[in-house]
Structure 1
Amino acid sequence: MDQERPLPPVIERMWGREPAPRRGPRPRLDLAMITAAAIELADADGIGGVSMAGVASRVGVAATALYRYVGSKEDLLTAMADAVAPLPPDPAGLPWRDYLATWTRAQRDIILEHPWVLTISPFVPPMGPRRLLWLDRVLTALDGTGLDDGERINVASTLTGYALTDAAVVYGAGDPAYEKAGISGADEFGAALAEVLDPATYPALSAAVRGGVFSGAEGWVNDDDFLFGLSLLLDGVEQLIARRGGVS
C-alpha cells in the first residue's frame, strides 16, 4: 500500500493542521500574524523589503523565532501569496459568464493592489486555502454548463493567467525605467516603436504603428483593452459549452 505523502510543513500550517503544543505557554505568534506582517512590508517596500529579520522585528521577536512557523523565506512567500487573497466573489445568483468576468477582474485588481505577487512564482498550482477557494467558486459557477471537471479547471487556469498577464502589463507601464526613457503613455510607446522598427523585417507591426494604433489611446492601461481580451476568452468558453450541449 502506498504511504501518504506528507505535505510541506508550511502548507500544513496554512491549513491549520499544526499540532497544538502539549506543554508550556501558548505561543503568541502564528502563521497568520507573520504573513500579515510580511504583506505589510511588501506593500510598503516591494518584495525586496521582505526579510526574515524585518518580519521578526515587525512582530517583536527574534528572527530565529520565525523558523518555527516558516522554514525559509520561500515558505514565507508561499504563505503570503495565499494570505493576500481576500474571499472570492459569491457566485450565487449570477450567470456563469457574469461571475467569471467578475472573478477575473477581481483577481487582476488584487495583483494591481499588491504587485509584488507577480514575483512569487504565480504559475505554481495553488495549495493554500484562500486560492483554492477561488478555484472552487469557478467550478461552482460552471456547474450545469456541460463542462467536465478538467475543462472547468482549465477555464479557471486560463482566466487566472489572463488576469496575471494584464496586471503585469498595466503595472509595467508605470515602470520608472520607461518614464526615464520618456515613455509614459501609449503615444510615447508608439513613437519609440516607430523609431526602431524596420518595415522590411516587421512589415505588419510597422504598418500598424505608423498607422497610429497606439495614438490617442491609453493602450495597455485602458480598461477597454482588458474587457476586449476577457470577452474573447469568455466567448471561447461559451462556444465550448455550446459544443458540450450545456446551458450557456
Structure 2
Amino acid sequence: MANRALPLVVARMWGRETASRHGPRPSLDLPRILQAAIGIADREGLESVRMSSVAAEVGMATMSLYRYVGSKDELLTLMADIAAPEPPALDGRPWRDYLAAWTRANRDFLLDRPWLLQISRSTPPVGPRSLRWLDRALAALAETGLGLGERINIASTLTGYAASQAALVLSMATGRTTAGGDDAISGMVGYSDVLSQVLDPTDYPELAVAVRSGAFGAAEEWVDEGDFTFGLDLLLDGIQTLVTRRDGGSEVRW
C-alpha cells in the first residue's frame, strides 16, 4: 500500500516539503520565523502571537508569512516542537533513574515556557524534538520486558504528569484565582479556609479532618519539589511493579 502524503505541517517540521513555491525567492527561512514567534510568546505570552505580530517581528507583510506557515494553528504546532529542548541523554542510566530525570526535565521546560501549556497536547507528537523525547523514554524501558504499547502508555502518563505539575506550580506561583475571580480561593491556605466553612463532617468525614489538621496548608509548602517527587515516585513504583510482574517475580525489586 502506498504511503499517504504527509500533512503539510509535518512535512515542514521534517524538511520534506516538496510542493514548489511560486513567486519571488523566499527572503526568510522557517526557523527564523519560528524563533521570532517564540520570542513574542516568551516576552508577552501566547495571546500576543498572531500572524500579523510575527510578520511585523521579522519585517514582512502578513500575507507574505503564509508562504512559510499555512495558518496560526500550524504556527503553534511548529512552535511547540522547536521550543522544546533536547531530552536528557540516556548515559546508560537504569530506567527508573532516567525516567525520573526525563519527567523532571519535561516539567522544567514547561515551567520555563508556560505558554506551551496553552497549546493543545491532545494530538500525538509528530515533530523531531517531541518524537525524540518519546524515543528516549522507550529506549530507557527497552530492557524491562514491557511491550512497546505499554512503554508508549508509560511515556504518555509521565508526560501528562509533568504537564499537570507544571500547571499546578504556575497556578500557585501566580496566585491564580477561580474563574469567578474570587481572591479568597487563591492558594492552598485560602482554599482550606473556604473548605472549612462549607464541609459537613457527616458527609465528608475524612476531608473535614484533613482541613482541620491543616493538611492543605502544609501542602502549599510541598507544591514544588516535595509534591512532584512524591507523585513521581508513586508512578515509578507502579512501573516497577509492572516490570516485576513481567519478570515473573513475586517481590518488587528496587
For normalisation by structure 2, the TM-score amounts to 0.89
Deviation at 1:128?
0.5
CA distance in 1, matches of 2:31, 2:207: 49
From 175, 185, 188, the counterpart of 1:186: 188
- Structure 2 counterpart SS, 1:29: coil
* 1:34–1:59 Cα contact (<8 Å) kept: yes
CA distance in 2, matches of 1:146, 1:243: 10
CA distance in 1, matches of 2:116, 2:172: 17
The one-letter code matched in structure 1 to 2:188 is A
Q: Deviations over 1:143-182 (max 9, x none)?
A: 1110111111111001001001111111112345439715
Q: What 5-or-longer segments of structure 2 have no aligned partner? A: none
- Structure 2 counterpart SS, 1:127: coil
Deviation at 1:103?
0.3
* 1:107–1:163 Cα contact (<8 Å) kept: yes
CA distance in 1, matches of 2:21, 2:169: 50
Q: 1:214 to 1:68 in 2, by over 3 A?
A: same
Structure 2 counterpart of 1:215: 217
Structure 2 counterpart of 1:34: 33
Structure 1 counterpart of 2:15: 16
Deviation at 1:211?
1.6
Q: Deviations over 1:81-103 (max 9, x none)?
A: 11111111001221110000000
Q: 1:208 to 1:61 in 2, by over 3 A?
A: same
Deviates more, 1:147-156 or 1:195-204: 195-204
CA distance in 1, matches of 2:235, 2:176: 32
Q: Deviations over 1:189-210 (max 9, x none)?
A: 3223222333344332222111
Structure 1 counterpart of 2:241: 239
CA distance in 1, matches of 2:221, 2:162: 16
Q: Deviations over 1:110-157 (max 9, x none)?
A: 111111111111132101110000000011111111011111111100
1:150-169 mapped onto 2 (5 Å cutoff): 150-169=149-168
CA distance in 1, matches of 2:183, 2:236: 37
* 2:117–2:163 Cα contact (<8 Å) kept: yes
Deviation at 1:10?
1.4
CA distance in 2, matches of 1:58, 1:209: 50
Q: Deviations over 1:208-236 (max 9, x none)?
A: 11121023453562311100000000001
Q: 1:220 to 1:164 in 2, by over 3 A?
A: farther
From 224, 227, 243, the counterpart of 1:225: 227
For this pair of structures, how many residues does the alignment match? 247
1:130-169 mapped onto 2 (5 Å cutoff): 130-169=129-168
Deviates more, 1:186-195 or 1:29-38: 186-195
For normalisation by structure 1, the TM-score amounts to 0.91
The one-letter code matched in structure 1 to 2:183 is A
Deviates more, 1:40-49 or 1:177-186: 177-186
* 1:12–1:18 Cα contact (<8 Å) kept: yes
Deviation at 1:44?
1.3
CA distance in 1, matches of 2:171, 2:203: 26
Structure 1 counterpart of 2:48: 49
Structure 2 counterpart of 1:106: 105
- Structure 1 counterpart SS, 2:6: coil
- % same residue: 55
Structure 2 counterpart of 1:59: 58
- Structure 1 counterpart SS, 2:214: coil
Deviates more, 1:57-66 or 1:196-205: 196-205
CA distance in 2, matches of 1:87, 1:103: 10
CA distance in 2, matches of 1:65, 1:198: 62
The one-letter code matched in structure 2 to 1:114 is R
CA distance in 2, matches of 1:243, 1:26: 60
* 1:173–1:220 Cα contact (<8 Å) kept: no
